[in-house]
Amino acid sequence: DAGVTQSPTHLIKTRGQQVTLRCSPKSGHDTVSWYQQALGQGPQFIFQYYEEEERQRGNFPDRFSGHQFPNYSSELNVNALLLGDSALYLCASSLRGYYGYTFGSGTRLTVV
């Protein structure tokens, strides 16, 4: 039973560049949430997608955007990267109406 798959696992970008992170949810899940985990901190909620629409958003600037596809997979896009965007980005999937979140192993983004 495949869990949540995130790609890539690591990447390095330069300030000002743009990045796209990808997430495939657990089989049977229809909702995808993204979290940012800076070093030494707890994960912070970025946004949640359901039925291809952004349903909730945390306190992140609009440089952070996302998309959900008909197969429930999702992308997180970050534009105009800042050094402070360096973090572990976690994707969590769930089934709408149920409190069972499954997290992926994350994408480690380093901005230099």
Partner 1 sequence: AQSVTQLDSQVPVFEEAPVELRCNYSSSVSVYLFWYVQYPNQGLQLLLKYLSGSTLVKGINGFEAEFNKSQTSFHLRKPSVHISDTAEYFCAVSDLEYGNKLVFGAGTILRVKS
Is 25 a binding residue for partner 1 by CB under 8 A? The answer is: no
Residue 58 lies near partner 1 (rule: CB under 8 A): yes
Residue 96 burial class via C-beta count within 10 angstroms: exposed 0-12, middle 13-18, buried 19 and up? exposed
Cβ distance to partner 1 smaller for residue 60 or 79: 60
Binder among 26, 29, 104, 109 for partner 1 (CB under 8 A): 104
1 binds partner 1 per the rule CB under 8 A: no
Closer residue to partner 1 in complex, CB, 18/64:
64
Q: Could you give the CA distance from residue 62 to residue 112 in angstroms, rounded to a whole number?
A: 21
Is there binding between residue 44 and partner 1 (CB under 8 A)?
A: yes
Minimum CB distance to partner 1 smaller for 11 or for 103: 103
Q: How far is the CB of 57 from partner 1 (least distance, A)?
A: 9
Residues 6+ apart with CB under 8 A from 30: 50, 51, 72, 95, 96
CA angle 17, 23, 25 (to 5 degrees): 165
Q: Considering the rule CB under 8 A, would residue 60 count as an interface residue with partner 1?
A: no
Residue placing its CB nearer to partner 1 in the complex, 40 or 84:
40
Q: CB count, 10 Å around CB of 112?
A: 10
